Structure 1
């Protein structure tokens, strides 16, 4: 049974044991609140363990906030990695959570969210409230509150600018939400920023927003940066530095503007074949032309680096296979990278690195402020509709709505649409499903790693994408 399944099946007393033991494996999988203090926390909160009769449990931070509880200042439950459940689930709740994380409710409202899911707004509200204890508005509100705290504590932006950058409709709504969630005014919350007194906030918006992208458990950074280095497309991406201290940078097209983001491999320590971050996060910096895109940019980086995965559940399942057990022991927390732009990723998988570079040079829009080797955005699908063959067919399907690859896309429907494209082979369609849609359980036909995976049937489910990554890393080691 996975960590998530165990959490769902657990009685409250079992969850209380996780709180008593300060078990970080459950951070983000559920939250607990204390009636006597009015505060909610992550399971690993280091504060004194409350009495059982005073504890209530919630599936999301939004549910705890909707019940009137404030975020703990010590453990910062709003900053935990997202629940891995939403990445794995293909039902309407999982799809809705991925879309909310991408900022769809802020941009398009509940009606826009429902339309993307193919349900009525009432149906979406009912399903989310029944399962998570909070509807889409409350879930989006919790996300806005976290973005507001981040901007208050890491930039010198004026409070009014932060209110609208975080997605609030008015300064009054912003002030009311911050006080309700954190029991602090925006000014007080800014003063609470970590660091030496008088040196906070440390960074002006022009210098970019520094972030710590949290992950749970072990994180194998080296294979992720190796993959990004192999696949990089010049002009859009670059990887600088030596293994162990590399920086990945890329341009992003976002709903309100553009961005340049960077993520550091440094800060990890090597132990044999293991590369793990000492602090449980990746250091990043985001430069945006419009700060309203911050939530979306962070979500896309998290999907690219697979930061919301549950390595405890994945490693437990895969280590039960004698073939994989030594590989998992050597690389605990191995990730299956996703993408920062699903449509771009689909084109790149089909075209290959060399052809993708040609597409960027011919069709890629120049960014307003080039930075280092980054001077282009990857072309949008409608710029590629006249390309011959399968590439043009893919671009037309993405442009006319015949194929959806957004975070809330129905994976089976997308897979069917992909396979219906003229010239699309099963292996390419599976790779697009794995990377562009972030499906954790993909078998890739005609793939050497997948030959082993198919031989094990359901033994690796629902984590076949991760089992494949272990075999790929094993082959790389044998070839070196």
Structure 2
């Protein structure tokens, strides 16, 4: 009833008399309590027959881990389905990847959500489509394919059946034509964008990343398709992403990647409250989030080249690596295969570190699904390198780099800070420690 923004994305309110479900922050008149149902997930509200509110737009609500603490397999299944796994493979193949039977996977979804995995996938596609209709410059025909449908007709039929409106009814006003495609991404809480840009600026790869006073831009490869994006704030709680993709079907994976990379789904107020209780003077600027990199492979390379040297020296070696391997013009971050096949003698660093990089590239080439924890078996890679990859490559929230020199110096000022005391927000404690440097 207070429309408290801290609960946005954590649950949804469905009104029986109108058949509509809303975010907790919806400005509409409050319904009577006996006419209200509550849901943890948007898909559950759709399954119950409610359509999303056009005023508060639940499709754009910041994501929230409503299922923390439940079965790990279920969480992993949710993540894979939200990335579009069932659009390209069967339920049986997904189950095999999870190491369970498809019958057990259906039981998990029925028990936690009250629906089948395929129903969840469909509802997720439709809510993403609705978000694109409201918040992107894409024409509806492209939105159909971007949200995972194989035909415009099937998209229109499914949208009308579940949302109970046609796509054109949702997009009442024709979007003005723009030369560059864009989508707006919502988030909640403070985001110290200047701090994040400064962090990226010191670590930018020439030809791949570009940072100005307001935006971050980079090129990438996604499912073997090249692309680029530029991200910048347009208003409080909204980041705009301009992008170019050869395959529009990769838009959802790109959005997932960017929400992770720029840490748009975290409850920053809750995190900072907890860290302030541990060390009241630690947080000198609010809204510091994890500035991620494209993937764990890139983070691993950055960490190896950054072992025991300054940021400036590490970036000199990284730019040398990228530009030497692409003499005709930089288009992407080098792949594990490219690095493993290269003669790395041109790098100006100890031979042992060159050999570590070569071993790492070979390992990732042979084990593309490996996790950073598995890299510890590689000679030359220790806990600091692994934790850095977890921190920036996977954006894990609880990677406290206690062995980092800057962090060690900060701990002398804040003796209450330990790996245990800042858990489960060690990553944020690390960045706040760095902010005191």
Judged with a 3 Å threshold, the aligned counterparts in structure 2 of structure 1 residues 105 and 342 are, in CA distance, closer, same or farther, namely: farther
> 2:423 aligns to what?
461
> Structure 1, residues 242-284: CA drift from partner, whole Å, max 9, x if none?
3xxx22110121126221100125x5xxxxxxxxxx5211222
Q: Provide Cα deviations, 1:208-234, integer angstroms capped at 9, x if missing partner.
A: 322222111111112211111111111
Distance change >3 Å, CA 443–CA 163, structure 1 → 2: same
Structure 1 match to 2:365: 399
Bigger shift: residues 113-122 or 331-340: 113-122
Contact 2:291 / 2:392 at 8 angstroms: preserved in 1?
yes
The equivalent of 2:296 in structure 1 is 342
* CA separation of 1:72 and 1:251: change in aligned 2, threshold 3 A: same
Partner of 2:111: 130
Residue 81 of structure 1 corresponds to 62
Matches within 5 A, 1:407-422: 414-422=371-379
Structure 2 vs 1, CA of residues 456 and 256 (structure 1 numbering), >3 Å: closer, same or farther?
Answer: closer
How many residues in Structure 1 have an aligned counterpart in Structure 2?
Answer: 412
Out of 30, 54, 60, which is 2:41 matched to? 60
Instruction: Give TM-score scaled by structure 1 length.
Output: 0.78
CA distance in 1 between counterparts of 2:132 and 2:338 reads 35
Q: CA RMSD in A?
A: 2.7
Q: 1:248 aligns to what?
A: 216
Q: Once the 2 structures are TM-superposed, how far is the Cα of residue 88 of structure 1 from its aligned partner?
A: 9.8
Q: Give the Cα separation in 2 of the matches to 1:365 and 1:102.
A: 34
Residue 242 of structure 2 corresponds to 285
User: 1:109-128 deviations in whole A, cap 9, x for unaligned?
Assistant: 44444344333333333334
Cα drift, residue 135 of structure 1: 4.3
Aligned to 1:377: 332
Tell me which of 48, 51, 56 is aligned to 1:70.
Answer: 51
Is residue 226 of structure 1 aligned with residue 194 of structure 2?
Answer: no
Gaps of 5+ in 2: 306-313, 343-353
SS at match of 2:315: helix
Alignment-derived partner of residue 162 in structure 1: 143
Question: Aligned partners of 2:268 and 2:61: how far apart in 1?
Answer: 15
Secondary structure class of the residue paired with 2:436: helix
Is the 1:256–1:292 contact (alpha carbons within 8 Å) kept by the matching residues of 2?
no
CA distance in 2, matches of 1:102, 1:78: 16
Correspondence 1:389 to 2:355: yes
Distance 1:188 1:314 in 2: 40
Alignment of 1:35 with 2:16, yes or no, is yes
TM-score w.r.t. the length of structure 2 is: 0.85
SS at structure 2 position matched to 1:428: helix
SS of alignment partner, residue 418 of structure 1? helix
Contact 2:40–2:66 at 8 Å: present in 1 too? no
Relative distance call for 1:177 and 1:364 in structure 2 (3 A) is farther
Q: Quote how far apart the aligned CAs of 1:68 are.
A: 1.4
